[in-house]
Amino acid sequence: MTEPVSRRALLGTVAAGAGSLLLAGCDRVNRSPAARALLQSAEQAHLASQRLIGGQALAPEFTRADLSPDFRANGNHQANGNPDWVRHRDAGFAEWRLRVDGLVLRPLDLSLEALRGLPQRTQITRHDCVEGWSAIGQWTGPQLGAILQAATLLPAARYLVFHCADAFGPHPYYESIDLVDAFHPQTILAHSMNGGPLPIRHGAPLRLRVERQLGYKQAKYVMRIEARSTLAGLYGGKGGYWEDHKAYAWYAGI
Amino acid sequence: MPADSVPLDPPNPAPALPGDGATGGSLVKRHRLSTRLWHWLNVVTVAIMLMSGLMIFNAHPRLYWGRFGANPDHAWLQLPRFPGWVTLPSTYSLADARIWHLAFAWVLAFGLLGYLLRSLVNGHIRRDLHITAAEWRPAHLWHDVVEHARLRFPTGAAALRYNVLQKLAYCGVLFGLLPLVILTGLTMSPGLNAALPWLLDLFGGRQSARSLHFVAAGGLVLFVLVHLAMVVLAGPFNEVRSMITGWYRLPREPGHD
């Protein structure tokens, strides 16, 4: 039985070799900038296809019976490294102001009272962490679109950048969305969660809710909203802390 | 000369086509180009999807049922993290695993769609995969199970047709596991939840979909393992050749030599 055995052994060797080649090859391809660029171009397909079939569709909303009993906080649980935020927290955020600037006609400084004075939207939605877990919470706040209308975007504005008080080491957290998501009816700046004030660990005094994207887009401890024509030139240029540092997709609809 | 030293490729008449009286030993065309292309595309795609999927699972190795589920909630399954030699990349990177997984998801989904359409048009589904009423008979199913258990495989022209267990396995993957793994994958997308909310209703919530995604992937792993075992048992050289070139040498009837 020499021949069949040698063939079988050969095939086994080929299979084992192919397996280790696959592993080593994938890691090598994973490091190649050209291959990464090709793989990452799928992000544009995700954005285009979801916008095409979804339009301005609303994210599913739930009832209070669906609320997570214990909503896991993700990212930073405080912004203690930011003296401004600490001072505002100690004063109950009474003197805190949300700065809206950049490519706007009228820069704004909005107190929590002013934000609560705007028409409010309350929504019970699901928060999906990029890691895979989900939690359902109730959020209340003004629509971002109303604030942007009050500030009046200049024609060159394409992106809204959310500058946050928290940081990972020396790198401040920030996130960004485009105008389609900025003017989506469910995109709100939440100052309340589950009927009470937004807890510190969930981003007090104010966090973004952009309900058709993953958790890392839901910027917490928002201090300033900046309208920009491009994301280039800001920090790593990819539009967010995780995008800059870990190659997470800027469009987090999947 | 002992039977087991017969050369694997004895001199043979010209290659025959199925149905023209092919007997054990003759070379016949077995797999269409579309089947062969899709098969090898899937070897790469499924390997990448499984390995990058395990890395994504490692980011949160807990599974839940229902609409939500996180660390404070009850997990029906909690596993240790998968080792680096089965994940892509081999060292922890959820971001990189997602880049691979979400790019090759398009290849998997459109590959399946293209193959199903092609197979519908060229008659592959109707002729080769369709399970007939006779094959559904318990006696026939049982006979096939017994034959498999004894590792007795069809010979001669009968080896050209899929037996009923093969058909069940292939149909289960084509119409069951692959659509399930793709649809549950789409159901985990918050963007698509807005666009196609019926997917959430279909699977009972995002965390149920995530659990079913993992179960379906496990089913695909099981299929691949059984598939590879059957290839080895049925004669790996002949089987691999037929999936590369399309040409297959019909197994000889027992005692033929």
Residues A12-43 have pLDDT tens digits of: 666 666 667 777 788 888 899 999 999 999 99
- The predicted pLDDT at position B157 comes to 83
CATH 3.40.50.970, domain A58-246, yes or no:
no
What are the residue ranges spanned by the domains of chain A? 1-40, 58-246
- The predicted pLDDT at position A5 comes to 52
Is the pLDDT at A251 greater than 60, yes or no? yes
Report yes or no on B122 lying in a domain. yes
Q: Which two structure tokens, joined as six digits, stand for A56?
A: 């301005």
Report yes or no on B168 lying in a domain. yes
Which of B101, B104, B189 is the best residue to mutate to test the A interface, defined by the most A CB atoms within 10 Å of its own CB? B189
Is the pLDDT at A247 greater than 80, yes or no? yes
- The predicted pLDDT at position B155 comes to 86
Which has the closest alpha carbon to A130: A200, A56, A216, A46? A216
- The predicted pLDDT at position A19 comes to 67
- The predicted pLDDT at position B253 comes to 77
Taking CA atoms, what residue in A is nearest to B193? Answer: A59
- The predicted pLDDT at position A7 comes to 59
Round the average pLDDT of chain B to a whole number and report it.
90
Is the pLDDT at A103 greater than 50, yes or no? yes
C-alpha distance from A148 to closest chain B C-alpha (Å): 23
CB–CB of B191 and A253 under 8 A? yes
Q: Which of A39, A128, A248 sits opposite B190 (nearest CB)?
A: A128
Series of mean pLDDT values for 10-residue runs along chain B (257 residues): 38 44 83 94 97 98 98 98 95 97 98 97 95 95 93 86 94 98 98 98 98 98 96 94 95 67
Report yes or no on B22 lying in a domain. no
Report yes or no on B138 lying in a domain. yes
SS (H, E, C) chain A: CHHHHHHHHHHHHHHHHHHHHHHHHHHHHHHCHHHHHHHHCHHHHHHHHHHHHHCCCCCCCCCHHHCCCCCCCCCCCCCCCCHHHHHHHHCCCCCCCEEEEECECCCEEECHHHHHHCCEEEEEEEEECCCCCEEEEEEEEEEHHHHHHHHCECCCCCEEEEEEEEEECCEEEEEEEEHHHHCCCCCEEECEECCEECCHHHCCCCEEECCCCCHHHCCCCEEEEEEECCCCCCCCCCCCHHHHHHCCCCCCCC
CB–CB of A30 and B5 under 8 A? no
- The predicted pLDDT at position B16 comes to 43
Higher pLDDT, A235 or A24: A235
Is the pLDDT at A112 greater than 70, yes or no? yes
CB–CB of B192 and A253 under 8 A? yes
Higher pLDDT, B256 or A107: A107
Report ipTM for this prediction.
0.91
Report yes or no on B156 lying in a domain. yes
- The predicted pLDDT at position B7 comes to 38
Round the average pLDDT of chain A to a whole number and report it.
94
Where in the sequence is the domain holding B97, given as residue range(s)?
31-245
- CATH number of residue B69's parent domain: 1.20.950.20
